[in-house]
């Protein structure tokens, strides 16, 4: 009997039984194929061909993605929720003091709500003249207001905080106008686009060779996605923990035997800006779960 | 590493005789002991090896966990609601360290 139970649990951890048990009680049905499609404002999208990796994910993965309890990023979100409310820092101020509760749409004292952040970043940072993403914005706040050292990229705290913030925008369409020549982010967008189509590394491949030319085709045992960024930070089974978009970039660069760049580097910020535009209209799925 | 609290999902209210689904999720690396580090030395095993659930002090579910279980174990089971009370969930790791959490359920 003992052996039987152990086997059953092993299966559950692998997410096999999970799919069978929970398909019924998730809010977003796994069969709803519109879930991962671009919608845009008023349901009209200028980017109708975009789709996220959710579309090609297996049923069990989708079930983990959709059920906020099973989603393995949620313990990180719980951890971040404690940090969000904590005044335990040199500035003696919590995130909630300025922004209100994470789900507060008025944004508390500062009038900057967390809802919508995940859908609209990266934004232009006038101080540096460069794009700024959610991770760097969190650290900017932490350094300026809380007078503490910023969280390390890829630390549990940082992953939790970005997941917590992006989670508030779940389902909202990604907004980006960076392609507009008048937009402040336009030059970053252009550099990011050049990066995207630039062949690099020993395998001499650009991002587009996989994610445009061969999206939906099989690479080894995996289905290639369009490489959209709307689900990050994403839990990957391979990582067995959530990871940031820049970790994914580094993995991609490594796979094509190219030199990778640092977390939060200008190259990746520009690329992130381009990817946000490329996936405009897609619903924010963060924190997503993928194979 | 900051400690991430485990998550449990227990219905707050249940009708007598109902089969309720209890879900638990805990963040843990579940280091198998079979991996080697960069120097070629074995990374010692560190997994959660025991999971216990007590309802009003009496054991209702327990499991011995071995290395085949992947990281961040998700364990769910059904429980027949007969009386109101408190669930106590305990996970114990190889070093004997345990994490506990409790949840209440009212049965009418």
pLDDT of residue B84: 93
In a domain, residue B96? The reply is yes
Domain that holds residue B19: 7-107
Handedness of CA A243, A246, A248, A250 (dihedral sign): negative
Please provide the average confidence, as pLDDT, over all residues in chain B: 91
**Domain of residue A156, residue span:** 74-167
pLDDT of residue A13: 47
Active site residue A95: no
Answer yes or no: is B32 within a domain: yes
- pLDDT band for B5, please (50, 70, 90 cuts): confident
- B76 and A78 within 8 Å at the Cβ level: the answer is no
Reported confidence tier of residue B47, pLDDT bands at 50, 70, 90: very high
Q: Quote the CA–CA distance of A224 and A212 in Å, as a whole number.
A: 9
Asked whether the beta carbons of A128 and A211 are under 8 A apart, the reply is no
Nearest to A9 among B5, B7, B63 (CB): B63
Going by C-alpha positions, the residue among A279, A274, A281, A130 that lies closest to residue A196 is: A274
Average pLDDT for B84-104? 93
Q: Minimal Cα–Cα distance from B8 to chain A, Å?
A: 8
Our CA-based measurement puts residue B50 at a distance from the nearest CA of chain A, in whole angstroms, of 11
Q: Domain total for chain B?
A: 1
Q: A49 lies in a domain?
A: no
Could you tell me if residue A59 is inside a domain? no
B88 φ/ψ angles, rounded to the nearest 5 degrees: -115, 120
Question: Under a CB-based contact definition with an 8 Å cutoff, are residues B107 and B82 in contact?
Answer: yes
For residues B28 and B16, give the distance between their C-alpha atoms in angstroms, rounded to a whole number: 34
Q: In this structure, are residues B84 and B106 in contact, taking their beta carbons and an 8 Å threshold?
A: yes
Closest partner residue to B75 among A12, A15, A72, by Cβ?
A12
Residue B74 sits in a domain whose CATH number is 2.60.40.10
8 Å CB contact of B73 and A72:
no
Residue B2 lies in a domain: no
Classify residue A88: in a domain, yes or no. yes
Mutate to test the interface with A, among B68, B78, B103 (most CBs of A within 10 A): B68
Residue A101 lies in a domain: yes
Q: What is the pLDDT of residue A200?
A: 93
> pLDDT at residue B12 above 60?
yes
pLDDT score for A153: 93
pLDDT attached to residue A35: 60
Residues of A with CB under 8 A from a CB of B: 2, 5-6, 9-10, 12-15, 17-18, 21, 69-70, 72, 74-76, 78-79, 156-157, 160, 240-241
Burial class (CB in 10 A: 0-12, 13-18, 19+), B63: buried
Please give the Cα distance from B103 to B108 (Å, whole number).
17
Q: How far apart are CA A244 and CA A233, in angstroms?
A: 5
User: Which residues 27-56 of chain B have a CB within 8 Å of chain A?
Assistant: 27, 29
Residue of chain A whose alpha carbon sits nearest to that of B62:
A5
The single residue of A95, A207, A210, A252 carrying the catalytic annotation is: A252
Residue A115 lies in a domain: yes
Asked, for residue B73, whether it belongs to a domain, the answer is: yes
Residue among A18, A65, A72 with most chain B CBs within 10 A, to mutate = A72
In this prediction, residue A41 carries a pLDDT of 55
Question: What is the number of structural domains in chain A?
Answer: 1
Per-position DSSP letters for A26-37, written without gaps between them: -SS-TT-GGGGB
**Residue B66 forms contact with A (CB below 8 Å):** yes
Query: Residue A98 domain-assigned?
Result: yes
| pLDDT per position as a tens digit, A144-198 | 999 999 999 999 999 999 999 999 999 999 999 999 999 999 999 999 999 999 9
Distance between B56 CA and the closest CA of chain A, angstroms: 23
| Segments of chain A scoring below 50 in pLDDT | 1-33
Query: Which CATH number covers residue A160?
Result: 1.10.760.10
**Do the domain assignments include residue A147?**
yes
Would you call B39 helix, strand, or coil by DSSP? coil
Residue partners of B84: CB distance under 8 A and separation at least 6: B104, B105, B106, B107
B75 — pLDDT class (breaks 50, 70, 90)? very high
Q: Can you tell me the distance from the alpha carbon of A185 to that of B60, in angstroms, rounded to the nearest whole number?
A: 58
Q: Classify residue B13: in a domain, yes or no.
A: yes
User: ipTM exceeding 0.85?
Assistant: no
CA of B63 vs chain A CAs: smallest distance (Å):
7
Q: How far apart are CA A79 and CA A85, in angstroms?
A: 10
Q: Is residue B1 part of a domain?
A: no
């Amino acid at each position: 009997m003992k052996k039987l139970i152990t086997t059953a649990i092993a299966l559950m951890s692998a997410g096999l039984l999970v799919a069978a048990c929970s398909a019924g009680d998730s809010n977003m049905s796994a069969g709803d194929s519109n879930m991962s499609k671009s919608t845009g404002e008023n349901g009209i999208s200028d980017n109708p061909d975009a789709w996220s990796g959710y579309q090609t994910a297996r049923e069990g993965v989708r079930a983990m993605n959709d059920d906020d309890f099973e989603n393995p990023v949620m313990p990180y979100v719980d951890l971040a929720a404690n940090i969000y409310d904590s005044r335990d820092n040199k500035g003696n101020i919590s995130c909630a003091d300025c922004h209100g509760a994470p789900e507060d749409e008025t944004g508390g004292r500062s009038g900057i709500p967390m809802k919508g952040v995940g859908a609209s970043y990266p934004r232009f940072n006038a101080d540096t003249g460069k794009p700024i993403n959610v991770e760097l914005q969190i650290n900017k706040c932490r350094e300026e207001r809380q007078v503490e050292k910023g969280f390390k990229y890829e630390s549990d705290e940082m992953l939790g905080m970005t997941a917590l913030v992006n989670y508030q925008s779940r389902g909202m369409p990604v907004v980006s106008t960076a392609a507009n020549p008048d937009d402040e982010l336009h030059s970053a967008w252009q550099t990011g686009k050049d990066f995207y189509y630039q062949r690099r590394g020993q395998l001499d491949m650009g991002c587009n060779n996989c994610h445009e030319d061969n999206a939906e085709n099989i690479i080894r045992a995996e289905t290639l996605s369009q490489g959209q960024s709307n689900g990050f930070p994403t839990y990957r089974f391979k990582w067995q923990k959530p990871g940031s978009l820049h970790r994914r970039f580094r993995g991609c660069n490594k796979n094509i035997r190219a030199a990778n760049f640092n977390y939060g580097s200008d190259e990746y910020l520009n690329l992130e800006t381009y990817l946000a535009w490329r996936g405009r209209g897609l619903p924010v799925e963060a924190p997503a779960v993928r194979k | 590493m900051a400690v991430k609290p485990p998550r449990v999902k227990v219905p707050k209210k249940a009708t007598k005789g109902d089969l309720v689904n209890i879900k638990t999720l805990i963040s843990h690396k579940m280091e198998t002991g079979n991996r080697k580090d960069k120097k070629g030395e074995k990374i010692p095993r560190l997994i959660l090896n025991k999971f216990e659930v007590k309802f009003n002090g009496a054991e209702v579910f327990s499991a011995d966990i071995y290395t085949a279980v992947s990281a961040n174990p998700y364990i769910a089971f059904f429980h027949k609601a007969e009386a109101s009370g408190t669930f106590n969930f305990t996970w114990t790791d190889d070093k004997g360290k345990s994490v506990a959490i409790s949840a209440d359920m009212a049965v009418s």
